[in-house]
Structure 1
Amino acid sequence: MELNKVKFVYFLGIGGIGMSAIARWFLKNGIQVSGYDKTPSTLTNTLSEEGINIHYEDDVRCIPQEILINRDSCIFIYTPAIPKDHLEKNFLLDQGIPLYKRSEILGWITEQIPTLAVAGTHGKTTTSSLLTHILKNANKNVTAFLGGITQNYGTNFLPNEGPEDIICVVEADEYDRSFLTLFPYAAAVTSTDADHLDIYGDDSSVKESFQLFVNQIQNEGYLIQKNGLGLKSSINQDSFGLENGNFHARNIRIENHRMVFDMVYPNGIISDIPMRIPGFHNIENALAASALAMQVGVSAEEIKEGIASFKGVKRRFEYHLESNEHVFIDDYAHHPTEITACLKSIKALYPNEKLTAIFQPHLFSRTKDFLEDFAESLTLADEVYLLDIYPARELPIPGINSELLLSKINHPNKQVISKKDFVQKMKIDKPKLLVTMGAGDIDTILGDIKNAIISL
């Protein structure tokens, strides 16, 4: 369907971070948008305020009649997280209405626009958001579909300004092999660690999917991949890494709890780059973003300015308190590799402080697949709390729970706790250094935790 023929768009699962960006793109282009989501959230509330009609009951009667009457001028988009027995989904299928994944629509949108894609099981949200900011800072006409809310712009979607010389930035999602609908001009791959094994089955299938993605980069395009990943391509390419790769860092130091580094790249060195977002992993993200930015003509000085002024992404090493009395950081880390990177970075920034961590495991299958790795990564904290597993799209797996994970953590200071009880405990303990981690709904208590810590 051509864009000028689209009058309506209906979403099943509109509240997801990636789905909401697509919804906003259609809304910005004057198309009527509506949809379903399981529960209200800050993001769905914002979408409603922007003019999108959202309901939270799985009820066929909630689908606007105008859409069903004019189905030929409507695109129906769903997230793979929608369960198989979903009433609205099955009703639409029974009516012979085609349903499209977000990734298919994203591929359709970006067909005619030079696209820079960022893929990886970790790091893709921050890298694509930083890349977007570098391009905006360099006055490029960028539109971006991101997987997180950027602190600089307060959104996960940035519209282009006019039709000329558009550069599209896309966070390429490997879940359900969604990124295989994209054919970017250039791409970065930040990691290929095993994840989503409920979809892929094993580590080799994950790696194979990333190789297929790399194969789809345009012949005249460019690839930047983390050193050691070993993805094969005959196109122009570079590698990046903290210490090794065509793009790497040197002279990393910590000044006032912030990181400063020099970037070494094939054509020179960018010295004394200050980062507002801490973490060794974020230095690597900056290297990948810089390599892609250089491919579309951004200068070394513009890159340094962009990195220095990038405020980060919500729920990615986000400070909620930062004072001499208390530091409270929240992070989306939900995989052992991410937890390790987060905790090691905090320890490097605050080496003399006791680190309290609370983690909400995400998915029963992920907890089962990486049980020992989760346990090992969490031992980096000095004190560990676990919330119950957040199920998301899954039904419980017998015997897989936070108590089992707790038993595997080789640590004397550990406890399974409810959200309510943890907030109350923070009123008493008032830790000097706290990190909350997880991809579920732990973010719903961040304000309560902050208030508990600073309460008299």
Structure 2
Amino acid sequence: MYIPPTLAELGRVHFIGMGGAGMSAIARIMLSQGLPVSGSDAKESPGLAELAALGARVYVGQSGANVDEADTVVVSSAIRESNPELSAARAAGLRILHRSQALAAAMAEDIVVAVAGTHGKTTTTSMITIMLRGAGVDASFAVGGTVQGLGVNAGHGSAGVFVAEADESDASFLNYRPQIAVVTNLEADHLDHYGTAQAVFAAFDQFAQLLPAGGVLVACADDAGSAALAAQSAATGTRTITYGFADDANVRLLPGHHHGLLTTASVLLQNLEGSERTLELRLQVPGNHNLSNAAAAVAVALALGVDAQRAVEALGTFSGAARRFEAKGEGRGVCVFDDYAHHPTEVTAALRAARTVAGAHKVHVLFQPHLFSRTTEFATEFAKALDLADTVAVLDIYAAREDPVPGVTSELITRELNKPFGYAPDPLAAVARLCAGAVAGDIILTVGAGDVTEFGPVLVAALTSGDVHG
């Protein structure tokens, strides 16, 4: 079992790749806790500028000299051993922590709500944070994206409750010590790390086993993987609260109603001592998947003893998280949205949400596959998900942490598509074609975990002016 160091033991903390969403969140928290923080990244970014304004020493570009004054160095799985700062830190014998270990240290004194799952972590973590703060619980939080309404991805509160997104991609979520563990769903993913689906399931089983006596597992009853985990945990004596549309869910959703970006549903609290009642949920974000995320938040409120009615009312103020069906603008009556979806299940959820918003109008998609390994594993499933759109342009694969794999291209997906456009090696040509085919009332959605998000403003400008400029 990993035992995190105390904050006092960390000394001066340096983050390699501090501009990333996960790293910047932890750096922000540590600055608010009074630790001296420095960090570097390959290029300037608004996130780096914000951290500098909060008191961090920021370096643009990476050099071994940047860690000269550090006592502890924080890295993510994306940092390679050849990184000059990591090499210098090892040579100097400095304490080196994975970002999850650093976050574990930052929240060691709090009641930890750790939100895990193959999909929906960022939105659910954001919802829980907004809900708790709206219900009067000043929770600390660290999220993998900016929480709309708060304008930041991390914050330090006074309530002694810490809500954290728990990343399973490299099994680092096993470094946390949650009192409440949320599992939104459990599917095969990140097989570049795990190798097999069985290894993924085993990691989530270990995650649930991290709960102490009296801890609570919150799990989705609609997802086969998380439902099985809930049943297994309950059988060993762990307190479990389930949620979803399933008839036996403790926080049960009735079929929702969709009105553009507005989503409503009744929520039944059942088989919970002293909590049996019906609540009305009203969200400012679309899709059944967001109703499910909100139900998870209500379950967390129950686990923490927060009044469920106050929790539901607070959820009504949630307006979204960055890159989760985020509105980017409008031109010629065509609305442009951006979504981080990078697994077939997530793409399906995003496109179904887009359908509820577009109504009788069309949905056009600019999709960028993320990782060669994921494209190889799920090409057929991606094609099936993308067929929910009316037109689809598929960009080249965003490699992220992987090296190219011979023969693995986006055409593995587009060969199986049944909708117009297909493979689009020229992004600006794809933008022009999508804009030309869109009419007032349609939606254009950029989808993927890579730099496809940068084309949202390009699409809006092209729709407005008729010219495409990258």
Amino acid at match of 2:360: N
1:247 aligns with 2:244: no
Supply the distance in 2 between the matched residues of 1:360 and 1:344 (Cα, whole angstroms). Answer: 18
Residue among 129, 141, 145 paired with 1:144: 141
Supply the distance in 1 between the matched residues of 2:46 and 2:374 (Cα, whole angstroms). Answer: 26
1:20 aligns with 2:32: no
Deviation at residue 418 of structure 1 after TM alignment? 2.7
Asked if the contact 2:188–2:197 (Cα under 8 Å) also holds between the matched residues in 1, the reply is yes
Q: Deviations over 1:316-349 (max 9, x none)?
A: 0112236992222211101111001111222233
Moved more, 196-205 or 28-37: 28-37
Aligned in 2, Cα 1:426/1:384: closer, same or farther, shift over 3 Å?
closer
Asked if the contact 2:286–2:356 (Cα under 8 Å) also holds between the matched residues in 1, the reply is no
1:156 aligns with 2:153: yes
Q: Deviations over 1:175-224 (max 9, x none)?
A: 21111111211111001111111100011100000000000111111111
Matches within 5 A, 1:92-131: 92-131=89-128
- In structure 1, what is the equivalent of residue 368 of structure 2? 360
- In structure 1, what is the equivalent of residue 445 of structure 2? 435
**1:391 aligned counterpart, secondary structure:** coil
- In structure 1, what is the equivalent of residue 383 of structure 2? 375
Residue among 323, 335, 343 paired with 1:335: 343
Deviation at residue 257 of structure 1 after TM alignment? 4.5
Asked if the contact 2:258–2:287 (Cα under 8 Å) also holds between the matched residues in 1, the reply is no
Deviation at residue 37 of structure 1 after TM alignment? 2.2
Aligned in 2, Cα 1:55/1:366: closer, same or farther, shift over 3 Å?
farther
Deviation at residue 265 of structure 1 after TM alignment? 1.5
Asked if the contact 1:385–1:417 (Cα under 8 Å) also holds between the matched residues in 2, the reply is no
Deviation at residue 7 of structure 1 after TM alignment? 4.0
- Calculate percent identity across the aligned residue pairs: 34
Supply the distance in 1 between the matched residues of 2:49 and 2:409 (Cα, whole angstroms). Answer: 31
Q: Which runs of 5+ in 2 are unaligned?
A: none
Deviation at residue 97 of structure 1 after TM alignment? 2.1
**1:175 aligned counterpart, secondary structure:** coil
Deviation at residue 366 of structure 1 after TM alignment? 1.2
- In structure 2, what is the equivalent of residue 191 of structure 1? 185
Supply the distance in 2 between the matched residues of 1:187 and 1:417 (Cα, whole angstroms). Answer: 42
Q: TM-score, normalised by structure 1?
A: 0.92
Amino acid at match of 1:363: L
Supply the distance in 1 between the matched residues of 2:432 and 2:310 (Cα, whole angstroms). Answer: 46
Q: Deviations over 1:47-94 (max 9, x none)?
A: 334343333434323x153x1xxx5xx221100111232222122213
Aligned in 2, Cα 1:211/1:197: closer, same or farther, shift over 3 Å?
same
Asked if the contact 1:279–1:341 (Cα under 8 Å) also holds between the matched residues in 2, the reply is yes
Moved over 6 A (4+): none
Amino acid at match of 2:141: A
Deviation at residue 5 of structure 1 after TM alignment? 5.2
Matches within 5 A, 1:124-273: 124-161=121-158, 165-227=159-221, 228=224, 229=226, 230-231=228-229, 232-233=232-233, 234-244=237-247, 245-266=249-270, 267-273=275-281
**2:189 aligned counterpart, secondary structure:** coil
Aligned in 2, Cα 1:243/1:328: closer, same or farther, shift over 3 Å?
farther
Amino acid at match of 2:129: T
Supply the distance in 2 between the matched residues of 1:448 and 1:361 (Cα, whole angstroms). Answer: 19
**1:96 aligned counterpart, secondary structure:** coil
Supply the distance in 1 between the matched residues of 2:433 and 2:19 (Cα, whole angstroms). Answer: 31
Supply the distance in 2 between the matched residues of 1:8 and 1:127 (Cα, whole angstroms). Answer: 32
Aligned in 2, Cα 1:251/1:193: closer, same or farther, shift over 3 Å?
closer
Deviation at residue 243 of structure 1 after TM alignment? 3.7
Supply the distance in 2 between the matched residues of 1:224 and 1:409 (Cα, whole angstroms). Answer: 37
- In structure 2, what is the equivalent of residue 91 of structure 1? 88
Moved more, 445-454 or 415-424: 415-424
Moved more, 203-212 or 425-434: 425-434
Aligned in 2, Cα 1:318/1:126: closer, same or farther, shift over 3 Å?
same
Aligned residues between the structures: 446
Residue among 300, 303, 310 paired with 1:302: 310
Aligned in 2, Cα 1:222/1:337: closer, same or farther, shift over 3 Å?
same
Asked if the contact 1:385–1:415 (Cα under 8 Å) also holds between the matched residues in 2, the reply is yes
Amino acid at match of 2:178: P
